[in-house]
Amino acid sequence: MKSLGVRRHFWMILAWVIAAQGNPAAGLTRERPNVLFIAVDDLNDWEGCLRGHPQVKTPNMDRLAARGTLFTNAHNQCPLCNPSRVSLMTGLRPSSTGVYGLAPGLRDVAALRDHVTLPQTFTRAGYTTYTCGKVYHDGSIAPKDRAAEFQTWGPAPGLSRPARPMARLPEPRHPLMDWGPYPERDEDHADYQIASAAIQALQSAPQDRPFFVACGFRLPHVPCYAPQKWFDLYPEEQLRLPAVLDGDRADTPRFSWYLHWILPEPRLQVLKDFGEWKPLVRAYLASISFMDAQLGRVLEALEATGRSGGTIVVLWSDNGWHLGEKEITGKNTLWDRSTRGPLIFAGPGVSKGERCSRPAELLDIFPTLLELASFPPRPDLEGHSLVPQLKNPKAPRPWPAITTHNHDNHGIRTERWRYIRYADGSEELYDMRKDPREWNNLAGNSRYASVRQDLSRWLPKVNRKPVPGSAHRILTYAPESGEAVWEGKPIGRSAPIPQ
């Protein structure tokens, strides 16, 4: 990763200049916008503004979208917590860093040890920086490294759990695989406490310099717990399940299963067998609405400070989530259900009430915030500023959204097409205008050979192997032998699909 070292050296010098120019004593940071940076965990397109589920109730996200610009075709760079967040915070693709799993953390990667991240940029520029909840992946930033990222680290409580699991699932099961009404009071929930911490940070932010406040909500990540009143919004007898196609995987490559070979998230058939499909969907919806209410509390607090007009608000989700589609639950795929989620900008420099269908990436958040805050561009970042689309949602954008999951597996998403190529060379192609649920794989149809060829030119040219210390949900493939290895164990070519 020699090129990263050269880029890092360039940026270290540039960052020093910015930090010096942005010193509050020089009176330059006062005019720069504040940033309220809101992360949501495992949220797909089930928001009112994205119309992903006909019954979902998300009034606060919808209001935020109405006062800003909503990207309706936004995608993560990896459908897994740690690599997705590492990519966003560094501005680099997983295929460039080699970070694909739940470990290692950002600063444990030799080539990233001194890389200037998004929050560091604002800290060095004289901003008051604060984080609470899950912004970086839990535990990925060691205590000794935290002060270099954010000046202040607030609480990041995990979800408490009832004495016994509520979901009826086969044993043994992962403790996170649970859902149901818990706890009794909103105030006892982790997301309520995270919102309260963000509110306190907004209220106490110094008036003589801009702030960067990051707030990371835990829901709707499993366990999907919320107080009973949020479940009451979705009566079970009226609940609408997501549309699924029997035998949907019949036209997908076997390699597509390898990306989520053995995971704690139950397959759809297990949920059906144990009567848990509808309870999970209901809990996911209830969790979204509860989280949305906490978002509303934070946005109201921002308004009460009188600084909302000078604050850029950006809301994003690290990855999506399947709830039966493609016969699975969870993430770890290169289909829209795993890659697509909300991306909303609001505030100064952002058009109001707009919807942009151009492909966007979480990778674009970093350069976009730099431009909105009048920082010089970073030549080492791999995303592209969305400012042209924030001014005019119909502004052209030549780049697709690219998602990578494990080494050399990539999805390319344009306004019309989704193209997937796996490490073994197998492919999928979907016409998202005619087939938004990705039910009909066109990759084997010769009529679309030119489409596949055109989309394949966007596949990353750099595909780094997993970095030392990579662990959890790691898949590798050896083209010479044709052997795929899941978490250190070879997958037999005729091994039955785990159910």
Residues with a known catalytic role:
81, 137
Q: Residues with Cβ < 8 Å from 373, sequence gap 6 or more?
A: 32, 33, 35, 122, 125, 312
Cα separations (Å) of 166 from 163, 176, 180, 256?
9, 11, 6, 31
Q: Which helix (H) or strand (E) holds 297?
A: helix 277-305
Instruction: Note if the bond before 479 is cis, omega within 30 degrees.
Output: no
Helix (H/G/I), strand (E/B), else coil: 317: strand
Indicate the angle between helix axes 277-305 and 190-204, nearest 10 degrees.
Answer: 10
Please, what is the angle between helix 59-66 and helix 277-305, to 10°?
A: 50
Q: What are phi and psi of 169, to 5 degrees?
A: -135, 155
**3-state per-residue secondary structure call for 260-293:** CCCCCCCEHHHHHHCCCHHHHHHHHHHHHHHHHH
CA 403 to chain centre: 11
- In DSSP notation, 112-151 reads GTT---HHHHHHHTT-EEEEEESSSPTT-S-HHHHHHH-S
End-to-end alpha-carbon separation of the chain, Å? 39
Closest Cα to residue 224, out of 164, 279, 163, 294? 279
Angle at the Cα of 271 (from 268 to 276), degrees rounded to 5?
Answer: 140
- The Cα-based distances of 403 to 67, 291, 420 in angstroms read 28, 26, 9
Contact 42/321 with Cβ under 8 angstroms?
yes
CB 79 within 8 A of CB 475: no
Alpha carbon of 367 to those of 87, 90, 462: distances in Å? Answer: 13, 11, 21
Distance CA 11, CA 115 (A): 8
Q: Which amino acid is at 155?
A: P
